Chains A and B, each alone.
Chain A
Amino acid sequence: MIPQMVAARVVDARGSVCPGPLMALIGAVREQGVGDVIAIYSTDTGSRKDIPLWVNKAGHELVGAFDRGAYTEFVVRKKR
């Protein structure tokens, strides 16, 4: 479990449907500084595919994707 205090930003995109959670993450990455950790909560199953693909293409780090029961928590570190 990644403690929330590590995340510089927590984006709660639960209830938002594709591509909402990915776009919320992209918006947060735009605004945060290099090295910051961003946590995003998503209930949309499409996020499991979209978010890792985008993080990889954009050159950031997917610290992990954690099943939190009713939702998934993605933890991303902005690398550049």
Chain B
Amino acid sequence: MKRVVILGGGVGGTIVANLLARKVKDADLTLVDRTGKHVYQPGFLYVAFGHMKPERLVRDERTLLHRRVKLVLGEVARVDTRSKEVILKDGDAIPYHYLVIATGAEIVPDGIPGHEAAHQFYSMKGALRLREALSNFAGGRIVVAIGGVPYKCPPAPAEAACLLDYRFAKLGRREKVRIHYLSPLGRVFPIESFSPKVQELFERKGVKYTTFFNVERVDPIAKVVHSLEGESMPFDLLILVPPHRGVAFAKASGFADAGGWIPTDKHTLEVKGHERTIWALGDATDIPISKSGAAAHFEAKVVAKNVAAHLRGEIPTARYGGRVFCFFDAGFRRASALRFDYGHPPPPMAVSRRWYLGKVLMNRLYWTLIPTARV
């Protein structure tokens, strides 16, 4: 019986495992995950703002997996592509015929000197700490900055700026809070076609912004963030998106670039140099698309179809066209949406109550619809 090993129990890996279990009856399916806990990461922002409870973001991976998928808890040390084995840190070796890597990205807060003075919402711990800091914040300047590109969920920091405006307006303390957004690029939003929309929102909400501000270090005593470009910005509260990198084992296995991202064909999602044997999807790859579950969701379907075709001895034909669909929470219970692919940048969509309801529904129905691959 052919063995398929899937690394990573996030949205991408879970969908691939469940789809394969349904599509192919005679394959041996194993999913390896470090913790056995599946985390809905888009919820971190909402935990930080007190809109979601932490327990709503975490479920046991076992409860989300098809019964035919074996779950192994363990941390991957490396992949031996010659013997076709996944080597775990405890020394166990898991042989594979086909391998799917969906291990996401790691955050590296200590990549920025002085980061201890900053807050972030890219982990549960960070989100809870920020929630407390926001509750205690009496007034002053809140700076939202980005510690490095690429980072997960390109809209998230700009959404945070909009939600800060909403929060303090609702509390009747907006005039006591200055919000300043620092963008590493020459525009406020990474995706060029959508950037004017975000800029318009910022201007309407009184969110100040500076472009080409690449964070170099934070001075925790003076409470100033300094940029590589030679500028500095004082803050009373700093929200700093931590730098990201690919998972360590990819480098140890010899298939990662300098940033730790896995060179992957953007259409077939096969790992370059290991075609027909190893696929990668989601944040772990170097493909030119947003690092987000909204991309991994669509990528996972392509990978599952192509691995299933190999298992059946058929020619794989599914291709990922760069499809992403996600929401942009603009605060005041309104949102916009981004729908795009490799050939079509997202058109600026109106900010409306309808898209906000879409985002709320996604936050609620994620567990029922997405990891189970119902949609």
Interface residues, chain A, with chain B CB atoms under 8 Å away: 16-20, 22-23, 26, 29-30, 46, 49-50, 53-54, 57-59, 80
Is B372 among interface residues, defined by CB-CB distance under 8 A? Answer: no
User: Interface code B214-229, partner A: CB below 8 Å = 1, 0 otherwise?
Assistant: 1010000000000011
A-binding segment of B133-141, B182-190, B352-360, B361-369: B182-190
Interchain CB contact under 8 A, A58 and B230: yes
In angstroms, Cα B67 to Cα A59, docked, is 59
Q: Quick one: which of A17, A50, A58 contacts B228, CB cutoff 8 A?
A: A58
| Contacts A50-B186, A58-B212; A20 near B228 (Cβ below 8 A) | no
In angstroms, Cα B186 to Cα A16, docked, is 17
- 5 new A-B pairs (CB below 8 Å) besides A26-B184, A58-B230, A59-B229? A20-B288, A22-B186, A53-B212, A57-B229, A58-B212
Interchain CB contact under 8 A, B184 and A18: no
Cβ of B259 to closest chain A Cβ, rounded Å: 8
Q: Quick one: which of B149, B216, B229, B230 contacts A19, CB cutoff 8 A?
A: B149
The closest CB in chain A to the CB of B286 belongs to A16
Across the A-B interface, give the 3 residue pairs with the lowest CB-CB distance, nearest first.
Answer: A58-B229, A23-B149, A17-B288
Interchain CB contact under 8 A, B186 and A53: yes
Cβ of A53 to closest chain B Cβ, rounded Å: 5
Interface residues of B in 119-152 (CB under 8 A from A): 149-150
Number of interface residues of B (CB under 8 A): 14
In angstroms, Cα B185 to Cα A22, docked, is 8
**Which chain A residues border B149 with CB–CB below 8 Å?**
19, 23
**Which chain B residues border A49 with CB–CB below 8 Å?**
186
| Contacts A18-B192, A19-B190; A26 near B288 (Cβ below 8 A) | no
User: Interface code B193-215, partner A: CB below 8 Å = 1, 0 otherwise?
Assistant: 00000000000000000001010
**Which chain A residues border B192 with CB–CB below 8 Å?**
18, 46
**Which chain A residues border B214 with CB–CB below 8 Å?**
26
Interface majority SS on A: helix, strand, loop or mixed? helix
In angstroms, Cα B342 to Cα A18, docked, is 12
Cβ of B151 to closest chain A Cβ, rounded Å: 11
**Which chain A residues border B288 with CB–CB below 8 Å?**
16-17, 20
**Which chain B residues border A50 with CB–CB below 8 Å?**
185-186
In angstroms, Cα B229 to Cα A14, docked, is 25
Q: Quick one: which of A54, A59, A80 contacts B186, CB cutoff 8 A?
A: A54
In angstroms, Cα B229 to Cα A1, docked, is 28
Cβ of B91 to closest chain A Cβ, rounded Å: 35
**Which chain A residues border B184 with CB–CB below 8 Å?**
23, 26
In angstroms, Cα B185 to Cα A20, docked, is 10
In angstroms, Cα B186 to Cα A50, docked, is 7
Cβ of A32 to closest chain B Cβ, rounded Å: 12
Interchain CB contact under 8 A, B230 and A80: yes
| Contacts A22-B185, A54-B186; A59 near B230 (Cβ below 8 A) | yes
Interchain CB contact under 8 A, B230 and A54: no
**Which chain B residues border A23 with CB–CB below 8 Å?**
149-150, 184
**Which chain A residues border B212 with CB–CB below 8 Å?**
53-54, 57-58
User: Interface code B160-200, partner A: CB below 8 Å = 1, 0 otherwise?
Assistant: 00000000000000000000000011100010100000000
**Which chain B residues border A46 with CB–CB below 8 Å?**
192
In angstroms, Cα B194 to Cα A18, docked, is 14
**Which chain B residues border A57 with CB–CB below 8 Å?**
212, 229
Cβ of B189 to closest chain A Cβ, rounded Å: 11
**Which chain A residues border B150 with CB–CB below 8 Å?**
23
In angstroms, Cα B150 to Cα A50, docked, is 17
Interchain CB contact under 8 A, A26 and B186: no
**Which chain B residues border A19 with CB–CB below 8 Å?**
149, 185, 190
Cβ of A21 to closest chain B Cβ, rounded Å: 11
In angstroms, Cα B228 to Cα A49, docked, is 19
The closest CB in chain A to the CB of B149 belongs to A23
**13 A-B residue pairs with CB within 8 Å:** A17-B288, A19-B185, A22-B186, A26-B184, A49-B186, A50-B185, A53-B212, A57-B229, A58-B212, A58-B230, A59-B229, A59-B230, A80-B230
